[in-house]
Amino acid sequence: MAERRYPTSARRIGYGVAAVANLIFLLIVNNLLDWGWFSWLTEDFETLLPIISLSLVASIFVNLAYILYDAKWFKALCEIGLVTISLWVAIRTWQVFPFDFSAYSINWESITRAILVFSIIGMSIALLANAVKLVLAVVRVAETQQAAADQSTPDPD
């Protein structure tokens, strides 16, 4: 089944919106503790800020790059990088666990840890899927280039 691609202009608008959204998230995430929005977020969150910021900045740059060039092989390669960083963030979040849910009667710690596990599993699957996409895209590019080279070479018969 062929993957549906939206028109280039629509994709570029989407990439621009994603870059702006990630910039806004970057500003919010880096001020959460100062603003005190979430009482269950501990000071240990500061430990995660550098890699969360790296993840958001990488996403901003990748989306800006997609505006200029969004070939399937390039997107798959970039997605492998972004998912790898996101996986790192999720694993470090599990390790640091900057949440204090002791004020709540619901066992939010178990729920949050389960969400982290499902996220890590999902990102691992996404890594594999993007690796397959990358290989398939590179093979298609090579086949297209070979076909073009075959057509431009005169037939000796």
- Tell me the pLDDT tens digit for each residue of 83-118: 999 999 999 999 999 999 999 999 999 999 999 999
Q: How high is the pLDDT of residue 157? A: 58
* Single-letter residue type at 123: M
pTM: 0.86
Whether pLDDT at 55 is above 80: yes
Q: How high is the pLDDT of residue 154? A: 67
Beta bridge mates, 99: 41
Q: How far apart are CA 104 and CA 154, in angstroms?
A: 77
CA 142 to chain centre: 26
C-beta of residue 89 within 8 angstroms of C-beta of residue 51: yes
Q: How far apart are CA 61 and CA 69, in angstroms?
A: 12
Q: How far apart are CA 141 and CA 133, in angstroms?
A: 12
Average model confidence (pLDDT) across the chain: 93
Domains of the chain, residue spans: 9-150
Please measure the distance between the N-terminal and C-terminal CA atoms of the chain and give it in whole angstroms. Answer: 38
C-beta of residue 32 within 8 angstroms of C-beta of residue 45: yes
Other C-beta atoms closer than 10 Å to the C-beta of 47 total 15
pLDDT digits 0-9 by tens, 9-47? 999 999 999 999 999 999 999 999 999 889 999 999 999
Q: How high is the pLDDT of residue 5? A: 77
